[in-house]
C-alpha cells in the first residue's frame, strides 16, 4: 500500500508485543481522559461546512457537552439550548460548565483564539488549519489526527494478520478497480478527517455502479473487499496524558440493510475475541507512541469462517465513546445489562423533540446524551437532533423501546 511522503515514520508503528495496560479508574468525563486544563473541540475544519453536511459538522462539536466535566468545550450554540442542558443535568450527567459556543465560522475562529489566549492547550478531534491553531498549541497535531483517520493508512498501524484486502487507487484507476460484476467497498482516502461527511459506499456484485460524490473532489480512494460479517465490534479506548492506551469498553455495531451504521449496542455484548482485543490495544498504543492523546474507537469484525479483521480506525470522540462515559458517570450498573443508542432527527424545534421523548425518559431506562438545533446557528436548514441511550435488563425490551422511539420521530 502506498503511503504519503509526509506520513509519520512507519518504524514507529508495527509492534505486535504491546502489553496490556494496567487497570486504572474508569473515566467518566473528558477531564478524566485528557487531564485538567485542556480545551476540547470536536468540530471538523470549516472546509467541509459549506457542504450538505453542515448540520453534521456542527452537531459533532456539541456531542461532548454532556460529559465534559471541568473541560472547556468549543461547541456550536445548537447544542447549548437551555432546555437541552437542563435535560442533560436532570439526567445526572457531568455537563460542562465552560461551554465556549459559536454560531458561525467567525465565532468558531474567535472561540479557538480566545482559548489559546487563555493559555489552554486544545485537543482538536479533527484537523484544523495551522493558521488558526498552531501545532504547538495542540494536544495532538492536526497532521497526526488526519493521518490516523485516513482510510489509506490503516495498514501501517494494524498487524498484517488482521488486514482486510484493500488497495489505494487514484481517480484515473478508479473505474478499473470498481467493476460492476464484483462486490467491493469504496472509502475516501484523505488526511482531512471529515466527521462522517464522506460516506462509505458498499457495492454488491451485479448492481449498477453509482459512485458517491466524494469521488468528484478527491484524488485517492481505498477499494476494500466486501466482507460478510458474523460479528462486528467497536472497541472503545483512550490514551491519557501518561501516553498509555487503555480499554474503555467493547460495543457492537448496529447497521441497516445497506450496511450503514445506525447506532451501537452497549453492556452485555457478544464476547470479543482475545486476539482482536489485544490487537486493538496494540494499535491504540502504537498511536500513543507517535503522539496521540484522547478517545478512539476501532472497528473490527469476525467473518463467518472465523477470520479476524480490522475495518476502521477512528481516532476521535465518537458516537460510541460519549454514551459510555455517560453511563459510567450516572448508571455504571447499566453496563451489566443491555443498552442501545439511537439518533432522532426532525425538521422541528429541539424543544419538540425533547417533548417527544419526555414520556420515555420519565418512565426510566432512557438517557439523553446530546442534541443540536440548527436554528441557534447561522445554518439556513432547520433541523434538530437528539442522541439517546435506551437501557435495561432485557435485550428484547431495550430493542423494542429503541425501535418505538425511532418510529415516532
pLDDT digits (tens, 9 = 90+) for 177-205: 999 999 999 998 888 766 555 568 889 99
Angle at 89 between CA 253 and CA 262, to 5 degrees: 15
72-102 pLDDT, tens digit each:
999 999 999 999 999 999 999 999 999 999 9
285-300, pLDDT tens digit by residue? Answer: 999 999 999 999 999 9
**In this structure, what are the phi and psi dihedrals at residue 359, rounded to the nearest 5 degrees?**
-60, -40
How would residue 6 be classed by pLDDT, with cut points 50, 70 and 90? Answer: very low
Percentage with pLDDT > 90 across the chain: 76
Q: What pLDDT, on a 0 to 100 scale, did the predictor assign at position 194?
A: 63
Indicate yes or no: pTM above 0.85: yes
d(CA 248, CA 353): 30
In the prediction, which pLDDT does 7 show? 38
Give the DSSP H/E element, type plus range, for residue 254: strand 245-255
Mean pLDDT of the chain: 88
The predicted model gives 352-380 an average pLDDT of: 95
Phi, psi of 19 (to 5 degrees): -75, 160
Residue 374 confidence (pLDDT) above 50:
yes
Please write the tens of the pLDDT for every residue from 44-59.
886 543 445 566 788 9
Amino acid at each position: 500500500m502506498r503511503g504519503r511522503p509526509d506520513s509519520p515514520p512507519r518504524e514507529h508503528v508495527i509492534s505486535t508485543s504491546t502489553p496490556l495496560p494496567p487497570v486504572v479508574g474508569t473515566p467518566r468525563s473528558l477531564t478524566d481522559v485528557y487531564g485538567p486544563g485542556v480545551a476540547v473541540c470536536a468540530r471538523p475544519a470549516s472546509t467541509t461546512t459549506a457542504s450538505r453536511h453542515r448540520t453534521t459538522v456542527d452537531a459533532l462539536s456539541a456531542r461532548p457537552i454532556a460529559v465534559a466535566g471541568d473541560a472547556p468545550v468549543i461547541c456550536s450554540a445548537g447544542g447549548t439550548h437551555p432546555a437541552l442542558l437542563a435535560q442533560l443535568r436532570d439526567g445526572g450527567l457531568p455537563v460542562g460548565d465552560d461551554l465556549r459556543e459559536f454560531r458561525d465560522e467567525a465565532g468558531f475562529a474567535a472561540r479557538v483564539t480566545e482559548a489559546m489566549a487563555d493559555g489552554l492547550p486544545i485537543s482538536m478531534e479533527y484537523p484544523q488549519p495551522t493558521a488558526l491553531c498552531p501545532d504547538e498549541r495542540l494536544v495532538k497535531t492536526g497532521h497526526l489526527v488526519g493521518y490516523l483517520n485516513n482510510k489509506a493508512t490503516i495498514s501501517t498501524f494494524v498487524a498484517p494478520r488482521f488486514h482486510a484486502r484493500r488497495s489505494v487507487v487514484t481517480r484515473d484507476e478508479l473505474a478499473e478497480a470498481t467493476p460492476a460484476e464484483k462486490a467491493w467497498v469504496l472509502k475516501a482516502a484523505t488526511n482531512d478527517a471529515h466527521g462522517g461527511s464522506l460516506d462509505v459506499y458498499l457495492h454488491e456484485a451485479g448492481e449498477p455502479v453509482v459512485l458517491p460524490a466524494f469521488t468528484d473532489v478527491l484524488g485517492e480512494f481505498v477499494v476494500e473487499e466486501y466482507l460478510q460479517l458474523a460479528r462486528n465490534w467497536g472497541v472503545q479506548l483512550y490514551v491519557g496524558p501518561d501516553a498509555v492506551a487503555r480499554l474503555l469498553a467493547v460495543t457492537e455495531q448496529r447497521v441497516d440493510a445497506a450496511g450503514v451504521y445506525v447506532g451501537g449496542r452497549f453492556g452485555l455484548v457478544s464476547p470479543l475475541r482475545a486476539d482482536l482485543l489485544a490487537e486493538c490495544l496494540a494499535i491504540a498504543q502504537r498511536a500513543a507512541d507517535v503522539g496521540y492523546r484522547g478517545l478512539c474507537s476501532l472497528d473490527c469484525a469476525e467473518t463467518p469462517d472465523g477470520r479476524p479483521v480490522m475495518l476502521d480506525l477512528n481516532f476521535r470522540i465518537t458516537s460510541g465513546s460519549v454514551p459510555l462515559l455517560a453511563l459510567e458517570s450516572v448508571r455504571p450498573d447499566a453496563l451489566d445489562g443491555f443498552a442501545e443508542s439511537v439518533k432522532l432527527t426532525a425538521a422541528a424545534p429541539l424543544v419538540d423533540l425533547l417533548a417527544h421523548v419526555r414520556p420515555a425518559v420519565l418512565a426510566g431506562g432512557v438517557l439523553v446524551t446530546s442534541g443540536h438545533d440548527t436554528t441557534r446557528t447561522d445554518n439556513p436548514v432547520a433541523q434538530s437532533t437528539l442522541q439517546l441511550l435506551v437501557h435495561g435488563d432485557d435485550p428484547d425490551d431495550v430493542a423494542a423501546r429503541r425501535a418505538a422511539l425511532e418510529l415516532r420521530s
